[in-house]
Amino acid sequence: MRDDARVDAMRETRGTLQRQGRFLTFEGGEGAGKSTQISRLKERLNAAGIEAVVTREPGGSPTAETIRELLLSGKVKPLGAEIEAVMFAAARADHVDETIRPALNAGRWVLCDRFADSTRVYQGEAGVDPAFLDRLEAVAVGGYRPDMTILIDVSPEVGLSRVAARSSSDGTPADPDRFETDTKEVHMRRRQLFLDLAAAEPARFVVVDGSAAADKVADDIWQAVCARFPLDLGHAGPAAPDPARDRIGG
Ligand code: Z5A
């Protein structure tokens, strides 16, 4: 079978059938606040009567979590950025099959911490050919492209200082992972690449200033989500109560 025909066949298998839930991805540099905001949004969606599944990349399914350990340990790095891209795509294919597609087809929303845009930025910045990344994405993702991508934009200084503060305050190992050891220039180029992707696809992306206080970022995201999906959330509206904030009396 020709390469093109093989990719088309795999894309067909991964397919777009039955999809009912909404697929939201969160992107940004390290320490941007993606995990924090995913959990805030999940609480607001639940309060609006919408069931949401939280997942992450690399990972999100047992096989993909095994691949995550390899990738973040740095053991794959000596094989080169192309092979890392292949492994991120392999993890993504399993994640789509095992977690994302079943949730969407069951009508749940999926909130995913990083997805294919991270490959474009991280492995793209490392020099992997964009056409090669396109083909990997087609195979791994099929029709399961995000309905909305929330780019939480912070400077590398802010993001990395948060990661360092988290490590020292919660006792997590201070050893940086494979990607946190990159130079400041690399982090800055990645930030710009994320912004470029957002500018190229304004219908999918919303860019949120992640340097603001977490409550303000959560409000901005909620407003953007309500504006993007008025039929799903019209009854809840942007001013829906935030259970997390109510609990702490804020
Ligand atoms: N990677 C890749 O190369 N190619 C790919 O295709 C994919 C990934 C999918 C995965 O790392 C790595 O894999 C990643 C890219 C690469 N590079 N790195 N490093 P990960 O999953 O381990 O880590 P991460 O995705 O970068 O997440 P993170 O560092 O945990 O950051 P975050 O989720 O965006 O932030 P957070 O955990 O919500 O917040 C960080 C801290 O800041 C925490 O203590 C919060 O309480 C605090 N925080 C959050 N928001 C605020 C605000 N607004 N103000 C003040 N403090 C805040």
CB 214 within 8 A of CB 40: yes
For ligand 1, mutation pick of 35, 100, 157 (most atoms within 8 Å of CB): 35
Picking from 75-79, 125-129, 230-234, which range would have the lowest pLDDT averaged per residue? Answer: 230-234
The CATH number of domain 20-248, selected from 3.40.1260.20, 3.40.50.300, 3.30.300.10, 2.30.42.10: 3.40.50.300
138 pLDDT band (50/70/90 cuts)? very high
Q: How confident is the model at residue 233 (pLDDT cuts 50, 70, 90)?
A: confident
In the chain, what are the domain boundaries? 20-248
Q: Residue 57: pLDDT above 50? A: yes
CA angle 129, 137, 20 (to 5 degrees): 155
Q: Report d(CA 160, CA 75) in Å as an integer.
A: 23
Distance CA(127)–CA(138), nearest Å, equals 19
DSSP-H helix ranges across 96-234: 101-105, 116-118, 124-125, 130-141, 156-170, 184-200, 214-228, 230-233
Find the mean pLDDT for residues 130-143. Answer: 95
Residue 72 CA to ligand 1 centre (angstroms): 13
14 ligand 1 Cβ < 6 A: no
Answer yes or no: is pLDDT of 179 > 70: yes
Residue 217 CA: nearest ligand 1 atom is: 53
User: Looking at ligand 1, which atom is closest to the CA of residue 214?
Assistant: 53
Mean pLDDT of 55-69: 98
Q: For residue 163, give every residue at least 6 positions away whose Cβ sits within 8 Å of its Cβ, in sequence order, or none.
A: 30, 31, 180
Name the pTM for this structure: 0.89
- In order of 169, 190, 205, 250, the CA distances from 27 in angstroms are 24, 11, 10, 27
